[in-house]
Structure 1
């Protein structure tokens, strides 16, 4: 009981001490507030008048989100397709679907040798994305993607040259169809 009375007395002393400190602070700072105009009042809230309704804002957000998702999905598909093709064995490359790869990058990809494909397969997704976009990618031994305006399509003979293995004939046919607009429809799975 005695301990409770002492605790209550200390609490009252502390509360009055806080009040005394606030009073002393106001006494010292009052002249400065009067001269410099620091009233300590609440700040005025900024005024905002929206020009769009919440429904319009939601529709715009959804459109932007869908566009961004489609862009990143196509990037992922192209990057995955390039990395799969580059890491595949020469026999499996002939049947790899390259429809997600842009035409200019597809031309460069199909004309690469095994060392360039090995370097491309070892590169990370960010470097492969830069390679697909035709930017400086930093992959040693891999040429940049050239635009089709710089390269001219060469008409290929109808039959592959004699003495080719089945794998070489398949690669030859793929390279022969590069100039056609529907060159990747034969290999499309779905």
Structure 2
């Protein structure tokens, strides 16, 4: 009983929608005929500038470049996990040549807890860490690019007698100069 009623309502709804579409086409068809609405657009002209062999050569070159970058990423991820999971004595002998310079500096400044968290993370998170993206590993600092101009300027020591404004500026500059890439774990 309910199925028959539902089918009748569905049929009426379908007829109503098709009737509305018919009315819409009836009203809008003169405007479409006058203003050129409707109909397919002609295909744009295209003349290729590369031959098929050039296209295949470029494809092969891109594929080889991608394969080498994936291989170097894999090597650097393995190297970081090996370094982070090693004992402090074994870390001194670990070869970090596969790791990018920015990540190497961050890796060398990390403490044991941060290294342990990095070693326990998965390869995808370690890859994100190497690229300097948001990696989602709790307690591990992100890799920041080394700015040689910023690291070359020394922080000015405070003078013995300073006005309150100079003291405030010195405090702000000293807070900005602190490395924030490595923070200790605090127990609550």
- The TM-score bracket by the shorter chain reads 0.5 to 0.7
Higher relative contact order (CA 8 A, sep 6+): 1
What is the TM-score of this pair, normalised by structure 2?
Answer: 0.53
Q: Decide which of 124, 146, 154 is 2:144's aligned counterpart.
A: 146
Matches within 5 A, 1:7-18: none
Indicate the residue corresponding to 2:71 in structure 1: 73
Do residues 93 (structure 1) and 77 (structure 2) align?
Answer: no
Matches within 5 A, 1:93-132: 93-132=91-130
> 1-side partners of 2:55 and 2:144: how far apart?
41
> 2-side partners of 1:51 and 1:144: how far apart?
44
Say what the alpha-carbon RMSD is for the aligned residues: 2.3
* Residue-pair matches, total: 108
CA offsets, 1:117-150, max 9 Å, x none?
Answer: 0000000011001111111110011011122117
Could you list the runs of 5+ residues in structure 2 that have no partner in the other structure?
A: 1-45, 154-188
SS at match of 1:152: helix
Indicate the residue corresponding to 1:3 in structure 2: none
Structure 1 residue 84, shift from structure 2 partner: 0.6
What is the TM-score of this pair, normalised by structure 1?
Answer: 0.52
> 2-side partners of 1:134 and 1:106: how far apart?
12
- Moved beyond 2 Å, runs of 4+: 48-54, 150-154
Could you list the runs of 5+ residues in structure 1 that have no partner in the other structure?
A: 1-47, 155-190
Indicate the residue corresponding to 2:3 in structure 1: none
Indicate the residue corresponding to 1:168 in structure 2: none
Structure 1 residue 52, shift from structure 2 partner: 3.3
